[in-house]
Structure 1
Amino acid sequence: MANLFINQAKQYAVGRPSYPKQLFQYFASKTPSHDLVWDVGTGTGQAARSLAELYKNVIATDTSPTQLEHAPKLPNIRYQHTSPIISMEELQQNVVATESSVDLVTVAQAMHWFDLPKFYEQVRWVLKKPNGVIAAWCYSLPEINEAVDAVLLRFYNNSYWDPQRKLVDEKYTTIDFPFEPVEGESDTGPFDQFAIERVMNFDEYITYLRSWSAYQKAKEKGIDLLGADVIENFRRAWNVDGDGQKLAKYPIYLRIGRVGKQ
């Protein structure tokens, strides 16, 4: 999986949207202490940067060293390159050395890539008990206007997505999530009360599309999914209501739970 994001790491850092502050404030309201976060699959650090404003320390891990090179460098974030599947030995040596020491584990737009049984075993080991929290979320396609969204849907429906992408299409409703509801919630979600809103111009929108793993996978096979004709279709749709900047809205689907006393 990591190889899909190596070549376009810079595009990923520029093209991927930032998450709303309200999302991280919600997490902070569910953890009694705010000492340590493990941000798994951090990519270029979009979530880690916001977490660092609310928690004393953030450990941000990823399987791609190239992605980590483009992450924001802040004094209370430690970036760590890891194996695609982290062993308990690697976890304890390179990520979190002490059991029951992490307040919050976050996974932004990445959990569909994980070996979930092994990952959940590690989550249970690192999180504080009984109130350590895990939060994992994905976001759906950006909504611009009817014309652009129609072209995007045709572009999105290609054969280069990995099978794991189906979990995102299903908004994490079918993902295994064996945790207890956090205080104030009756279940573990997915919740859709949050959304990313980003103002972008046409070139920024195309850069975002080029950050997709399906685009990169096709490109490695010598196929450019964003050829001149496709870009022209997007441009015509973009210009339907003016050729300036537009507000893109990405609905977020959140799973959140706690480990309990186990």
Structure 2
Amino acid sequence: MSSSEKRFSKQADLYSKYRPDYPEELYSFIFEHLDEKKTAWDCATGSGQIAGYLANHFDQVFANDISEEQLSYAPQKSNITYLNTPAEHSGLPSNTFNLITIAQAVHWLNFDRFYDEVRRTARKNALLAVVGYGMVRVSKTVNPIIDELYEEAFRQYFNENRRYLDEHYKNIPFPFNEISAPDFEITYQWSLDHLEGYFNSWSAVQKMKSELDKNPVDKTIKHLQQKLGSQESLEVSFPVFMRLGKIAE
């Protein structure tokens, strides 16, 4: 197993249980710019959140990921085909897809190679949607505690990659005919246990646990318990952002 595969395989069950979904408004915005909804490819699908949604709207969906463990948690539907392949070398047929999506993953890829694969597999007038979400927000008193964990975990591991997310993908290369997209937000009512599960799904946290025999989440949760007292439910929100572009005229 390569280092890239290990990065996300270890916490595959946590990804499937605790990672946020994406708002309906985001999908609606994408769909209104599509010519047709026959075939879609969800790159680096992870546990298949977007692939499962797209399957309700497209005739055929393909989804790939380098982590076989992640794919084992993906939803099984008759019109979804999963492949255990890298996004830059998907093994998918050329000139096939009306929509190509990649969520919370493009910052791990070789941009040039991935975009070459996008151009190869896209049909005329196809769209590429590069989607991501930012740091979870709770309240003015809680956010600094979360930010401290984020800085501790990612400062040592994956610092270069995280800057793309911190800047909402505005700093990634995007050599396509861009369609200006609004910002989105998704809100949940989460327990502190659910928030803890989300923190533990971070790749940097898993790396710290493995290499340093230490989990920084434990300290954060104790701090949050002191701050929140008996409060059982938290309103948490995530800023969601997207680069949307027409791949070829």
- Paired residue for 1:199, among 189, 195, 199? 189
Tell me which amino acid in the other structure corresponds to 1:141. Answer: M
CA deviations 1:109-133 (Å, max 9, x no partner) are 000011110111111111111x100
Distance in 2 (CA, whole Å) between partners of 1:213 and 1:238 is 26
SS at match of 1:147: coil
The offset of 1:50, in angstroms, is 1.2
The offset of 1:148, in angstroms, is 1.5
Residue of structure 2 in register with 1:225 after alignment: 216
Q: Following superposition of structure 1 onto structure 2, how do residues 177-188 of structure 1 map, counting pairs within 5 Å?
A: 177-182=174-179, 185=180
CA deviations 1:136-159 (Å, max 9, x no partner) are 011111111112211001111123
Which consecutive aligned stretches of 4+ in structure 1 deviate over 4 angstroms post-superposition?
none
Report if aligned partners of 1:180, 1:257 keep a CA contact under 8 Å in 2: yes
* Residue 121 (str. 1) matches residue 116 (str. 2): yes
Report if aligned partners of 2:22, 2:240 keep a CA contact under 8 Å in 1: no
Aligned residues with identical type, % of pairs? 29
Distance in 2 (CA, whole Å) between partners of 1:72 and 1:160 is 34
Residue of structure 1 in register with 2:128 after alignment: 134
Report if aligned partners of 2:45, 2:103 keep a CA contact under 8 Å in 1: yes
- Paired residue for 2:225, among 205, 230, 235? 235
229-238 or 172-181: bigger deviation: 229-238
Aligned pair count reads 242
What TM-score, normalized by structure 2, do the two folds share? 0.92
- Paired residue for 1:175, among 157, 172, 183? 172
The offset of 1:2, in angstroms, is 2.3
What TM-score, normalized by structure 1, do the two folds share? 0.88
Where does the alignment leave 5 or more consecutive residues of structure 1 unmatched? 186-190
Report if aligned partners of 1:202, 1:238 keep a CA contact under 8 Å in 2: no
Report if aligned partners of 1:6, 1:67 keep a CA contact under 8 Å in 2: yes
Residue of structure 2 in register with 1:250 after alignment: 238
SS at match of 1:100: coil
Report if aligned partners of 1:140, 1:250 keep a CA contact under 8 Å in 2: yes
Distance in 2 (CA, whole Å) between partners of 1:16 and 1:175 is 23
Q: Following superposition of structure 1 onto structure 2, how do residues 142-181 of structure 1 map, counting pairs within 5 Å?
A: 142-158=136-152, 159-162=155-158, 163-181=160-178
Distance in 1 (CA, whole Å) between partners of 2:241 and 2:87 is 24
Where does the alignment leave 5 or more consecutive residues of structure 2 unmatched? none
SS at match of 1:154: helix
* Residue 69 (str. 1) matches residue 89 (str. 2): no
**Cα RMSD (Å):** 1.5
Distance in 1 (CA, whole Å) between partners of 2:238 and 2:157 is 19
Residue of structure 2 in register with 1:46 after alignment: 49
